[in-house]
Chain A
C-alpha cells in the first residue's frame, strides 16, 4: 500500500493512531512491566496499606500496602498473554473448521455448522466452570474455555469467505493447473481470507481480555497474589463503599482502555485492509 494512502486513511479515522499508541503502551507494559515498575508488585507493606494515590504511589496502595501502579503494569502481561493464547487457539481451530465447512459444503458444512451452534449456546462462565471442575483450576484451562467460546466467530467468518471464494474463476483455474483440493483451499483461497481474519482477531482480543479478567474475578484461573486486573478489581470491590475507590478503579480503567484499544484497532484495521466496509 502506498504511504500516502495510509496517511490519508489514518487522518480519516484519528482514533486509529490513538489505538496504535495505546496498543504500543500495552505491549510495552506487558514486555517490560516488571523491569520498569517503581515498586515490587508482590511486596506487602502493612504500614502503607490503603494509601490514596500520591507521588510515591501513583495509583495508591491496596489492603496489603502493595503499589497498585506496579501491579497494574505487571498485570498487563498476564491478561494480554491469556487473551493472546486464547485468540490464537480459537483462530487456529476456528479457521480450520470454517475453511473445511465453507470449501467442502454439504454434509461437512452442516455438521460443523450445528456443532458451532451448540458451542455458541454455552455461556462462558458455565463452560469455564465445567472445564475447571473437570480438569482443575489452572491458567491453561481458562485459556481453553475462552478459546472455545470465541471459536464460533472464526468458524463463521472464515466459512462465509471461503464459501464465496470457492466458486471464483481462479479456483477453477487452479484445478486446471493440477492443484488438488487441500492445496487449493490452503494456498489459493486462504491468502484472501487473511485480512478479515486478522480484523476479527483484533476485535476479539478485547473481548478475550475481558473474559480472562472476568474469570479471574470470580476466582477461576489466575489466583492471588498474582497481579492480574480481574483479581485486583475483585479485591478492590469491597473497599469502594469505605471510600478507597482507587483499589478497584485503576485496574478496571486499565482493562477498559485495553478493550477499547483493541476494538478501535480492529475497526481501524478493517478500514485499512477492507475498503468495502469503509463508511
Chain B
C-alpha cells in the first residue's frame, strides 16, 4: 500500500541571531552562523486511514514538524511526499494555491486563539470552503454560496455543533463548542489528512472525553488519517494506531501503540511511560527520574546521542556516534542499548 504521507530525512534548522552585516562580510569575519536544529532526520510513513500519535515534551520540535507537514514552513533538507507528489519542494507561501492544500488540514491547539474573534462560527467554517472548495472535476468551479452553506451545516452536524450556534461569535461559545467549530473547519474540505495539535489540552477533563470520542468516530466515518500531536500518553493510546516519540528534534522511538506501551525500548520513552499517573500508587513500578538538563538544540554535536546528558544508561558509544532508528522493523528505536534496563538501573 502506498503511504498517504511520507517524510524522508526531513531536517529543519533555524538560523540564530543577526545575519553578518555587509561590513562583517567584507572584512572576512567568516564565523558560521549558529543554527537551531528543530527537526532532524525525521522519516516516517502515514498510511491512508492510519492514526499516528506524536509525543514529546515541550520544545522538542513537534510543532515545527507539524508546520513542515502542513507546509506552513519550508524544510531545510529532505523530502515530503503526499499522495506520491513532492510537496516539500513547493515554497510555503505558494502552497496556499496548491492542489493538495485542501487535503491537508489541521485542528489547532487553542480553540480561542485559532478562531478569528471578528468572524462568526459560520464564517470560520466557511472560509476554507470559499477559498479552496470546488465543485467536482472536471468543472472545478468555486462553490456557490448555497453549496458553502449546505456544507457548513453538514460539517456542523458531523461535529454535533447545533446549527443555531453558527451565527455566534467565538466569545459567545464555550471552549468545547469552539473546538467543535475548529474541528468542523478542519473537516469542511473533506481532507485526507487531519493534523490534530493537542486538540484537547485546553479543555477540562469531562469535555475532553466527549471530544476524543467524537474524533474517533469522525475518523471511522470519514476515513481520515490523523497525525495526532499530544503530550498526553493516555490520549494517544486511546486514539492512535502507531506512536512516535520525539526528543530534541529526533524521533527516538516509533512503533505500534500496544508494542511501545507494553515494552518501551528507548530510555526516554521508558521515563515518559513511567511518569504517566496511575490509579494505583502502590503498583510497585519504580519511577525513572531524569536528571540533568536537556542538551541544547543549538549547534548540537552530530556524533553524540541527543539524550546523552539525561540518560541513565549512557555508555562511551553514545557520545561517539548518533544512534538512528533502523528503518526496517515495526518497532524502531534510536538507542544502542535498548534492552539493558535492568543491568543499567
Contact = CB atoms under 8 A, between A and B. Distances in A.
Nearest to A171: B116
B58 to A, nearest CB: 17
Contact of A173 (B102, B108, B117, B132): B108
A138 interface: no
A170 B110 CA distance: 10
Contact of B114 (A172, A181, A191): A172
Interface residues of B, number: 26
B128 A177 contact: yes
Interface stretch (B49-57, B93-101, B208-216): B93-101
B96 A180 contact: yes
Interface string A147-180: 0000000000000000000001110111111111
A168 B113 contact: yes
A177 B123 CA distance: 12
Interface string A173-198: 11111111100000010011000000
A175 B72 contact: yes
B115 interface: yes
B127 A174 contact: yes
Interface string B94-137: 00110001101110111001111111000000011001100000
Interface in A17-44: none
B93 A180 contact: yes
Interface in B286-345: none
A170 B102 contact: no
Contacts of B110: 169
A177 B131 contact: yes
A178 B105 CA distance: 10
B70 interface: yes
A181 B115 CA distance: 17
Contacts of B185: 173, 177
B102 A178 contact: yes
Interface in A60-109: none
Nearest to B113: A169
B117 to A, nearest CB: 6
Contacts of B119: 170
A170 B131 contact: no
Q: Binding site of A, secondary structure by majority: helix, strand, loop or mixed?
A: helix
B16 to A, nearest CB: 16
Nearest to B106: A176
A153 to B, nearest CB: 23
Nearest to B109: A169
Interface string A234-277: 00000000000000000000000000000000000000000000
Contacts of B128: 176-178
A136 to B, nearest CB: 43
Nearest to A188: B116
- Of A169, A172, A175, A176, most buried by chain B (CB within 10 Å of CB) is A176
Contacts of B132: 177-178
Nearest to B67: A172
A176 B97 contact: no
A276 B81 CA distance: 46
A175 B93 CA distance: 9
A174 B72 contact: no
A179 B96 contact: yes
B93 A181 contact: yes
A176 B93 contact: no
A151 B43 CA distance: 51
Given A169-B108, A172-B72, A178 B114 contact: no
Contact of A176 (B72, B109, B117, B118): B72
Contacts of A170: 113-117, 119
A194 B278 CA distance: 50
Given A173-B185, A178-B97, A178-B102, A192 B70 contact: no
Nearest to A191: B118
A222 to B, nearest CB: 40
A172 B118 contact: no
10 contacts: A168-B114, A170-B115, A170-B116, A174-B127, A176-B105, A177-B132, A178-B96, A178-B128, A178-B132, A191-B116
For the complex of A and B, 7 pairs with smallest distance between CB atoms: A169-B114, A178-B131, A177-B128, A169-B113, A191-B118, A178-B132, A170-B116
Interface of A: 168-170, 172-181, 188, 191-192
Given A170-B115, A176-B104, A188-B116, 20 more contacts: A168-B114, A169-B108, A169-B109, A170-B114, A170-B116, A170-B117, A170-B119, A173-B106, A173-B108, A173-B114, A173-B115, A176-B72, A177-B128, A177-B132, A178-B101, A178-B131, A179-B96, A179-B127, A180-B93, A191-B118
